[in-house]
Structure 1
Amino acid sequence: MKTILIVEDEEILREISKDYFLSEGYKVIEAANGKAALLLFQEHEVDLIVLDIMLPELDGWSVCRRIRKISDVPIIMLTARSDEEDTLLGFELGANDYVAKPYSPPVLLARAKRLLESRSGSGKAKPSEDSLIINGIKVHFPSRTVTIDGTMVNLTHTEFEILAYLMENQGIVITREQMITKIWGYEYAGDDRTINTHMRNLRTKLGDKASMVVTVVRTGYKFEAHT
């Protein structure tokens, strides 16, 4: 049974979301503020976090930042604010998805399921081997780890998915639409800056290998190994 941590200070919204997850067989634990959320995360084995940004005592950004120092658990951030900078900041801090209030609980549930499925590998093509190695970049699928010339690289859940998808399709141009469908699995409501942020962060972490992630202007991306 998967455990969902819902962090929301509005009790009615928290209870509605909780009921939807319970109806699908998930275990739910809940917190009304950021400090309580961190304590619960330490005490329980959590599979996914639904995290409101505007929280008392400790805001969602701070909670996300602290959790990302110790875990790559999937995080869906919630906000009542429409500022696109909030979205970008959330992704830069390591959030996997972003839902603006007011939201539809069934949509939130669907997005959570998608993240959990990609986490477990359900419904996605698996490589024939446990690892994929190209020009010193090694992706190890069972542990979801990446090393570059033997040195571990700390990627977020989404960054790992993007890199693995590109490497599995080496030399093939992946359109932005294909990337969105594969990684997020739903109709995308944001703008290109969200994808750009993930790609920029991934390239920064790849260091000297970043040039292998090639932008194809007005189309998408491809992984091109150095010769």
Structure 2
Amino acid sequence: MKEILTSFTDAVADIKDGSTVLVGGFGLCGIPENLIKGLRDSGAKDLIIVSNNCGVDDWGLGLLLENRQIKKIIASYVGENKEFERQVLAGELEVELTPQGTLAEKIRAGGAGIPAFYTPAGVGTKIAEGKEVRTFNGKEYLLEEAIVGDVSLVRAHLGDKHGNLIYRKTAQNFNPMIAAAGKITVAEVENLVEPGDLDPQQVHTPSIYVNKMIIGQQENRIERKTVATS
């Protein structure tokens, strides 16, 4: 049985100042909302955050930006957050923009124990500065190093007490690879069930990758609402 916590601040207690934290989700879909709030309340600072994006101004990882807890963000998209823009332009935040597929593979490789890989994405651009470029079959490829986090924070729709996780629909996005790429992985689950209640063939993250669990109800905010006129 995995350790099942009741305090979100306790759940992120392994995150110290300067930690590298991998956070699941895409936009506001599939983010570990309550673990992020717990991390905000913990006061840990100088964090290196690895995630697809940095939330919005008043939600998700945007809460950590607002609280000045992030030193560096490694992400593929940052366009919805005005505070993010302000901190970057003011020189208060370091940003490493990475092509989305490359970011996903850097995290996947980290979880698989692969230290680096070659990709054509970024060749001939600023992303390639200072990195090794090799030619395979007449095409240039860029060497990218894998990412491993001190702590991974993920969100699952279902989890059993052994730590097996199932993500709901598009919330699968970055969560499975991030769960595998952390030295410690904390899972926020919407519904906790007994061992044997999950179909093994439906499990996205096996229990071996999960260290701690906590039940959290989600607000499921909409990042950008678009409606049609009748």
TM-score range, shorter chain: under 0.3
More helix per residue: 1
- Tell me which of the two structures has the higher relative contact order, counting C-alpha pairs closer than 8 angstroms and 6 or more residues apart: 2
